[in-house]
Structure 1
């Protein structure tokens, strides 16, 4: 039988009524002739509640027990959906990660998937099971302990199952009806995309778009898993939502596919650093060891053997970055005059595979920002994206200006 993977996020299974609604969608696919693997998240708010309980019980908690507690939310949802499907006379069973088994590394709370053997589920499908409801976000380590994949891990679980079982498609049901050219809450002109290339979606996800988890898009691109993003709260036809697919499936597209942004960024500048071989490693090695997620990096021209080094990071990692640099200075690994943090910036990016073959995108972007009186603090580019740091107070204005400048309200 052809196979589909369907993933339902927390808002899609937040109540028993919503679980019934999701189950009806699954039942329709079974009626259409599919075997279905359903990946479910915990009911909305439940994971935060469980994390809070762990913190209240043990501030310096054992990560193995943390995983045992927070993985229980998905298990409840899986059982409830399997029961709901059974009430609809659909042969269904719930599966926890260890029962599949979904094998992972030993890194509790941030495990990575190593293997998904297909024998157990395929045997049950052969016996007449039509739906396997699998608890997302969790697996089992080679030590036999429950592990979790980190926030957004259910998206990654769904794509991994689609790859392992050769699914026709992986449908991600969420609270939005697809991928938009930018956040519709920022500009009403945002347009839903019918299709978007894996590379574009990966860039948008990593740059702040919250529709899909970055790891899930990486996995889909690697294994060519066709993803479809759909709304759980609308009646969808076969052409609904946004299809995330290989570039070859997209006949024509705009040069720029979308505008992404990250509101909570900080710009850090090390003033007067010795300009010598190995200085970059001496700076960014300790930052990496401290878990600081460095993004944009700019080094000024050297003068009298000294230079300034600027980088960006999430605003909630400023204190960690400051401590790492101070420790490196105290150890004599680096020497600098001062570390200046600007916590009032944001990152705005334009993304599109069409940028590979079209010149002038950067000039058009910078001209649009100039016309609005927006000063650019840092610029980085890649083959299919251009990102800038600007003052946070101009974020909405910048997004709207760029959306208009590249005509994103119009289809290609």
Structure 2
């Protein structure tokens, strides 16, 4: 029988009535002739509750015990989903990560997949079971300990199973009915996309769109797994939601497919850094070691008077999440103390936002940047930093103008039109 992977997030299984609603959707797919692998998250709010208990019990917790505790939320959901399906006369069995087994690395709270053997689940399908309900977000290390994949790991689990079992498709059920051109809460003109390319979705996910976890899109792109994002709370059919697929499966793309934003960004500038070979490595090596997620990087001529600084100097600017500024400051101060770098001062602007336009059509169309900058200029939005890739243009702006910028760019590129 063909295999289908269905993933239900925390809001989709938040209580027993919602689990029953999700089970009805699974039953409908079984009736269509599929063997179904269901990946479930913990019930909404449960993981946060478990994390809170761990932190109250042991602020400097053992990561192995942390994973054992926080993974238990998915185990509960998997069991309840299997019982609900059995009550509907659908042969189902629940699986925890170690029972499959989902083999991962030993990096607790940030484990990576090694392999997912098909033998055990396929044996159950051969016995007549139609549904395998698998606890998402978790696996087992080579040492036999429970591991977790990091927040959003159930999306990644679903894609990994779809790749391992050669599934026809991986359906991600969530609280939205698809992927939109931008956040509908910001502009009512936001339009649901029928299809979007892996590359575009990866950029949107990494730039702040929270519909899909970034690692899940990376995995889907690598193994050509077709993803469909659709609502748990609406009646759906094979045309519902948004299909995330290979670029070749899209007849023709618009130049820009979507506008993404990230509200909580910070801009950090190291003033009068010595301009010499290796200076960038001396800056960004310590930042990486400190776990600072650097995004945009700009190196430019220093505004300081050259006469005050013998030799060549430059200013180095980078952006990072605002909650990582303290770590970035400490890393730079430590690097300066060790003599790795020297700078006059560190200037932090923690009141900025990142706004980006994304589209595979940019590869073959000129003038996207000019159109973007003109639209922002028309609304008196000043650009602080610019970064580009083949299918993306991002800018840092004052946070108070973020929503205005998103609306202006959505209008400028006519994204409300199909």
TM bracket (short chain): over 0.9
**1:91 is the counterpart of 2:91:** yes
What corresponds to 1:179 in structure 2?
179
What corresponds to 1:407 in structure 2?
414
User: Which ranges of structure 1 fall in alignment gaps of 5 or more residues?
Assistant: none
User: Aligned runs of 1:295-334 on 2, under 5 Å?
Assistant: 295-301=295-301, 304-334=311-341
Give me the TM-score of the superposition, normalised by structure 1: 0.99
SS at match of 2:335: helix
Aligned residues: 411
Q: Distance in 1 between matches of 2:369 and 2:197?
A: 21
What corresponds to 1:276 in structure 2?
276
Residue 142 (structure 1) shift: 0.1
Kindly provide the CA deviation profile for residues 180-237 of structure 1, in whole angstroms up to 9, marking residues without a partner as x.
Answer: 0000000000000000000000000000000000000000000000000000010012
What corresponds to 2:360 in structure 1?
353
Q: Distance in 2 between matches of 1:36 and 1:280?
A: 50
User: Aligned runs of 1:3-14 on 2, under 5 Å?
Assistant: 3-14=3-14
User: Aligned runs of 1:46-85 on 2, under 5 Å?
Assistant: 46-85=46-85
What corresponds to 1:370 in structure 2?
377
**1:164 is the counterpart of 2:171:** no
Residue 238 (structure 1) shift: 1.2
Q: Distance in 2 between matches of 1:361 and 1:175?
A: 32
What corresponds to 1:241 in structure 2?
241
Runs of 4+ more than 6 Å apart: none
Residue 253 (structure 1) shift: 1.8
Q: Distance in 1 between matches of 2:57 and 2:372?
A: 50
Kindly provide the CA deviation profile for residues 316-368 of structure 1, in whole angstroms up to 9, marking residues without a partner as x.
Answer: 00000000000001111111000010001000000000000000000000000
User: Aligned runs of 1:371-390 on 2, under 5 Å?
Assistant: 371-390=378-397
Q: Distance in 1 between matches of 2:290 and 2:3?
A: 43
Q: Distance in 1 between matches of 2:301 and 2:161?
A: 49
Q: Distance in 2 between matches of 1:93 and 1:344?
A: 50
Give me the TM-score of the superposition, normalised by structure 2: 0.98
